[in-house]
Amino acid sequence: MTAIVFDRVGKQFGNFTALQEISFTVEQGDFFALLGPNGAGKTTLISILGGLTRASSGSTTVMGFDVQRDYRAARRAVGIVPQELVFDPFFTVRETLRFQSGYFGIRNNDDWIDEILAHIGLTEKADTNMRKLSGGMKRRVMVAQALVHRPPVIVLDEPTAGVDVELRQSLWAFVRSLNADGHTIVLTTHYLEEAEMLCNRIAMLKQGRLLALEDKDKLMSRGASRHLLIKTASTGLPAALQPLLASQSEEGFELRLADCNQLESILVELRQAGVGLKDIEITKPDLEEIFVEMMNQ
Amino acid sequence: MQGFYTLFYKEMLRFWKVSFQTVAAPVLTALLYQLIFAHSIGQHVEPYPGVSYSAFLIPGLAMMSMLQNSFANTSSSLIQSKITGNIVFLLLPPLSHMEFFLAYTLAAVVRGFVVGVGVIVVTLLFAVPPFAHPLWMLVFGLLGCGVMGILGLIAGIWAEKFDQLAGFQNFIIMPLTFLSGVFYSIHSLPPFWQNVSHFNPVFYMIDGFRYACFGVGDVAPWLSFGVVGVTFLLLSALTLHLLRSGYKLRR
Ligand SMILES: Nc1ncnc2c1ncn2[C@@H]1O[C@H](COP(=O)(O)OP(=O)(O)O)[C@@H](O)[C@H]1O
Ligand SMILES: [Mg+2]
């Protein structure tokens, strides 16, 4: 079964169009990245998925349940971590998680709550008031809140914004293990290397339109100019190689390769010109470059 | 059902954790009213034959405090959740509209009752009403607090800022409660204002509750019951409709 189906989803705020006929699916088991610059409509799309916002047109289903008609089943199937950092200052971490379990109809959820707390490193803080947690800790409680009902689909809207590196890593390790256990994961992030590292499929959104939707590997090979970084013993670059020069810095020369087979002829040129090599490195294009390229189209 | 129960419990815990403000403060306020009004007016009037002004004031003050606090419970909880944004944690789960409605309203009724009992207990120092019809007391307490809890829900859903809520409170709730015969029998008013009072549902809540206490009132208890009951049903229907439509909560 398909985990999420967006079918021609549109959203107007007054006469502003936030989303335009968005259609795509997320398969079960996917680790899916939703990318796009600020204001692209990522949060709006996720809000429609969670029933926080109503689409102006089109339909959305989660695990086969329509988010409008079958809202109760749809909401049980998905756990959403909202983008904004919010909390209820009246309660402790454990109270917060117990209440959230209760809203999903679950009693006596403490075993699972303890397990989540251990995974996100908040066991010590279980009985601390939400007000007294740091921003990163509050963010982790929000992740826990989205997991109390063990949803098959988990959506994280920029979960690592403002979270320090160490924490980010432990969070991703946890989310990865959830994915390995069969949970479908959707995430939006500004850190493209995160999407590159974690996700298998990627959708790019810009101004409410879907620009790209592909397997990550395909997307990465598409924009595929590779870069070769060489450090030479002397300062010059043979004339024959000048057309390939992409940039030059203290690091050395950066050459753009259309494909890897060019490498051989480059080395030949260098040897013939008597230029000695101190270091050599080939870089793949990263998601960021592809992203920037697509957003500029 | 578990969803309803959890939200109901959370809403009660929310006011109970700050009971100094939510229970003790209104009880103290009522006590001051009782002291000042009973002392300054009390010697000169006897609103009903055989009922001292001190005693007369007790059910009115109790009911007024109950109504105001029921309204405050739902409206302040909702507006805070909306402004801080933590309302998403209620909008994401599969709570039904009815569960949402009942949990908020019942928690408001509970706060109203806790305050009401507090007010009655402290004012007993001044006079002891006969509590003629306890069942009617319960009925008017429940319906009155229910109506005001629901009004608080509507206000909380509608208001986007604290000052809008304050406006609702100052221009709708306060006039309705103060012009309802808490401090006087409406028979002591000029005919025009007597007529106006008859259009105020809060008047029937107070008068019904007072009838329950003394066995006498300005109008018959069944009339009060009818007016308050119909108000309750109409406001419930309106609120459930608002929740179903997602008005101001789900954009
Ligand atoms: N409630 C709203 N009213 C009006 N415009 C909105 C509302 N919510 C979002 N928008 C607009 O919709 C666009 C998409 O916003 P959003 O989904 O938050 O983008 P993203 O999450 O990709 O940064 C933005 O231009 C934003 O200003
Ligand atoms: Mg966003």
- Contact between A213 and A203 (Cβ < 8 Å): yes
Domain ranges of chain B: 2-245
Q: What percent of chain B has pLDDT over 70?
A: 99
Residue from B151, B183, B181 nearest B68 by CA: B151
Partners of A12 in beta bridges: A17
CB contact under 8 Å between A84 and B5, yes or no, is no
ipTM exceeds 0.90: yes
Quickly state the pLDDT bin for A277 (edges 50, 70, 90): confident
Burial zone of B105 (CB within 10 Å; 0-12 exposed, 13-18 middle, 19+ buried) = buried
For tokens 């680790």, name the residue.
A31
Quickly state the pLDDT bin for B39 (edges 50, 70, 90): confident
Residue B203, by phi and psi: left (phi above 0), alpha (psi -120 to 50) or beta?
Answer: alpha
Averaged confidence pLDDT in chain A: 89
A15 Cβ closer than 6 Å to some ligand 1 atom: no
pLDDT digits (tens, 9 = 90+) for A12-52: 999 999 999 999 999 999 999 999 988 999 999 999 999 99
pLDDT given at position B223:
97
Which among B3, B85, B251 has the least Cβ separation from residue A86? B85
pLDDT given at position B112:
98
Distance CA(B46)–CA(B55), nearest Å, equals 10
Q: What percent of chain A has pLDDT over 90?
A: 59
For tokens 């989205």, name the residue.
A146
**What is the CB-side half-sphere exposure of residue B45 using CA atoms within 13 A?**
18
Whether B40 shows a pLDDT value over 90: the answer reads: no
Which among A54, A75, A145 has the least Cβ separation from residue B94? A75
pLDDT given at position A271:
85
Residue range A2-221 in CATH 3.40.50.300: yes
pLDDT digits (tens, 9 = 90+) for A179-236: 999 999 999 987 788 888 899 999 999 999 998 887 877 777 766 567 788 888 777 7
A39 Cβ closer than 6 Å to some ligand 1 atom: yes
- Contact between A41 and A116 (Cβ < 8 Å): no
pLDDT given at position A279:
86
pLDDT digits (tens, 9 = 90+) for B210-232: 999 999 999 999 999 999 999 99
Q: In this structure, which amino acid lies at residue A80?
A: I
Q: How big is chain B, counted in residues?
A: 251
Q: Does A99 touch chain B (CB under 8 A)?
A: yes
Domain ranges of chain A: 2-221, 226-295
- Contact between B251 and B219 (Cβ < 8 Å): no
Distance CA(B224)–CA(B235), nearest Å, equals 16
> Residue A188 C-alpha to ligand 2 middle, in angstroms?
8
pLDDT given at position A222:
67
- Contacts of residue B161, Cβ cutoff 8 Å, sequence gap at least 6: B83
**Across A110-122, average pLDDT:** 94
**Which atom of ligand 1 lies closest to the CA of A83?**
21
pLDDT given at position A224:
55
Distance CA(A192)–CA(A33), nearest Å, equals 9
pLDDT digits (tens, 9 = 90+) for A40-87: 999 999 999 999 999 999 999 999 999 999 999 999 999 999 999 999
Distance CA(B216)–CA(B89), nearest Å, equals 48
